[in-house]
Structure 1
């Protein structure tokens, strides 16, 4: 894997704030009674909390400017290709780039800890600059996610993008459009029996940042 530092310059120029979020104070809503679970096949499930993070557009602007984003290049067969998104990973013990992310992780631990049996430890951030940025079908199966039930909690800020889920091996997909402070939690066997993706789109798409909280040993 090859990495390089990346400066944003005018990358957020196309971002359009939500009219519902313009004057909202940055903060977290409740989880109890506000997230809605959908049971999938093979013991997988997803929880969705729309607009869980209020004032999310302000957080998007802060993260876009302050996070030391990296543009990565990876070897694919006989070529080295650019990863179609910017990345930053915060390992255990590293200070998160905004206090509200630490607050969000504590809230997720308090709500999901009894079911998960452990806290969320790491945070991975992805910057989707426009519709050309994407992530291919995959599950978070590096580490324990390949053999154990686990959870991955994702907060989306910025313009909505489609997150697709499908059974591993193929099948009809499920679509959720996420942005402006939405929360999705993938749990149960989801990482090993289902796959998820953010596909490229030719439709106008503003920038989006996703923040993924994971337990120890799950990537």
Structure 2
């Protein structure tokens, strides 16, 4: 592991707050919320996840060949215990805060381990399941080295501009409204980066 850890990594789950959350309206009903240094004890969460998550490498078909997915993954489904109690507290806090808008709890936690700058995720929207037809939310917590989350409109003929957010150690980013249907997001490759883990909290049947 090689990233700059936080100076003050302690705290309690009761410190998960939303008063500094900043909403960015993207248009056509899509929005992104960002809160910096939101997660409690990100150093311990990172170290625990590296050690305890049963990471797996996946392969997928691309055109006429099978290629390695450029990151390690694991998804905690409904009823599975999350690898760190702070993540359980985070999921509950997100559910409580967003319930008036979302109308349902966050249920699953997809995890991606970007080992270095060569690991990435291509442009996509979470449109498998209900995200293809209904407004929903995906809440992403990042721990480890900062990496850029890029967003671009699916319809690039209407003049909407692409944008990006650098997600730092302990940062929270929530994509909501029509974002999964009308925008795409990616984590581009970079020349050099330390390890980073993202935890994506989703409602039922959103992938």
Query: Aligned equivalents of 1:16 and 1:33: distance in 2?
Result: 28
- Distance in 2, Cα, partners of 1:85 & 1:27: 30
Alignment coverage as a number of residue pairs: 203
Q: Which residue of 1 aligns with 2:60?
A: 74
Counterpart among 195, 203, 206 of residue 215 in structure 1: 203
1:86 lines up with 2:72 in the alignment? yes
Partner residue in 1 for 2:9: 24
Gaps of 5+ in 1: 1-11
Q: TM-score, normalised by structure 1?
A: 0.89
Structure 1 residues 27 and 178: CA distance shift in structure 2, 3 A: farther
Rounded Cα–Cα distance in structure 1 between residues aligned with 2:195 and 2:9:
20
1:133-183 Cα distance to aligned partner (Å, 9 max, x none): 000000000000000000000000001000001101346321101021000
Relative distance call for 1:27 and 1:165 in structure 2 (3 A) is farther
Q: d(CA) in 1 for partners of 2:78 and 2:59?
A: 24
CA positional deviation for 1:48: 0.3
1:30 CA displacement: 4.0
Cα offset for 1:114?
A: 1.2
Structure 2: where are the runs of 5+ without partners?
A: none
Q: Deviations over 1:84-129 (max 9, x none)?
A: 0000011111111111111100000110011100000100000001
Q: Given that residues 84 and 133 in structure 1 are in contact (C-alpha distance below 8 angstroms), is that contact kept between their aligned partners in structure 2?
A: yes
1:45 corresponding residue in structure 2: 31
Aligned residue number for residue 116 of structure 1: 102
Superposed, which structure 2 residues align to 1:1-219 within 5 Å?
12=1, 15-18=2-5, 21-28=6-13, 29-170=15-156, 172-202=161-191, 204-219=192-207
Partner of 1:6: none
Alpha-carbon deviations, 1:184-208, whole Å to 9, x = none? 0000000000000000011x21110
Say if 1:164 and 1:197, in contact at 8 Å, map to a contact too: yes
